[in-house]
């Protein structure tokens, strides 16, 4: 399977929260997208690994993505190590994405920044001929994505570009609410967490509106680039 866009996420629900509208939009345009979660989110206060796995499957159906997998790195404790970079390399070479979306460069949760750097380094190394990785007993061919962009998470960062996700905002929110154990539910007896408060989803809505307003639309999602972005002509920009 070859993907057009591959999203890496430190935890199940990171991709939906950070770029669910962008995912749904590109699926609707006919592109092949997939998500690779780095951990199972097993350290989360609410729910457990099995719960998150089932919720991620429900969210994937809502978004219409072609592929989802989990590297099962240790939640809260994974490092940008050789072993973990090789796991990223194997996925990138297998799925051959043109674009990779990854966690925020820094954020409230340390896994997010760690995941961002792990994926960035893995994507670069994936293009080196002398790094050997295997799939099904066969040596994989080198592959380096054309670009890597980082979605914005809890801590706001000034985006380098914003995507109009107005038409897909309701689908984004549907995919987030698929994680029933994690977000606001007045009937839940689970302990309240940072993201289970109704204020968290209100913040998400407000941010989408603010980013959308910045480009003259109702809802937007912002992304950060580590390198300068080039365009073919002024008509590519609105």
Residue ranges covered by each domain of the chain: 5-228
Q: How confident is the model at residue 232 (pLDDT cuts 50, 70, 90)?
A: very high
Q: Token pair 């609707």 is at which residue? A: 28
For the chain, count helices (H), then strands (E): 6, 9
Task: Please check the confidence at residue 186 and state whether its pLDDT lies above 90.
Answer: no
Q: How confident is the model at residue 134 (pLDDT cuts 50, 70, 90)?
A: very high
pLDDT tens for 8-30 read 999 999 999 999 999 999 999 99
Q: How confident is the model at residue 170 (pLDDT cuts 50, 70, 90)?
A: very high
Mean pLDDT rounded to a whole number for the chain: 97
Residue 129: predicted pLDDT: 97
Residue 225 and residue 178: Cα distance in Å, rounded?
Answer: 29
Is 3.40.50.10320 the CATH number for 5-228? yes
Task: Please check the confidence at residue 189 and state whether its pLDDT lies above 90.
Answer: no
Q: Could you tell me the CA-to-CA distances from 87 to 15, 66, 210 in Å, in that order?
A: 19, 20, 36
Per the confidence metrics, is the pTM higher than 0.85?
A: yes
């Amino acid at each position: 399977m070859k993907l057009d866009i591959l999203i890496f996420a430190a935890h199940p629900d990171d991709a939906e929260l950070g770029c669910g509208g962008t995912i749904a939009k590109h699926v609707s345009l006919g592109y092949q997208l997939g998500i690779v979660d780095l951990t199972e989110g097993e350290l989360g206060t609410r729910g457990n690994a099995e719960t998150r796995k089932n919720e991620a499957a429900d969210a994937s159906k809502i978004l219409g993505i072609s592929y989802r997998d989990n590297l099962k790195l240790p939640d809260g404790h994974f490092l940008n190590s050789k072993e973990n970079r090789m796991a990223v390399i194997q996925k990138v070479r297998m799925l051959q994405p043109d674009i990779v979306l990854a966690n925020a460069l820094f954020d409230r949760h340390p896994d997010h920044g760690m995941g961002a750097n792990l994926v960035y380094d893995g994507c670069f190394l994936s293009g080196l001929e002398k790094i050997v990785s295997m799939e099904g007993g066969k040596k994989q061919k080198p592959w380096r994505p054309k670009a890597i962009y980082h979605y914005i998470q809890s801590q706001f960062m000034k985006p380098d570009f914003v995507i109009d996700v107005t038409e897909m905002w309701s689908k984004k929110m549907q995919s987030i609410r698929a994680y029933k154990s994690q977000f606001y539910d007045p009937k839940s007896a689970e302990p309240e967490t940072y993201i289970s408060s109704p204020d968290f989803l209100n913040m998400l809505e407000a941010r989408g509106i603010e980013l959308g307003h910045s480009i003259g639309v109702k809802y937007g999602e912002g992304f950060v680039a580590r390198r300068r972005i080039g365009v073919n002509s002024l008509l590519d920009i609105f």
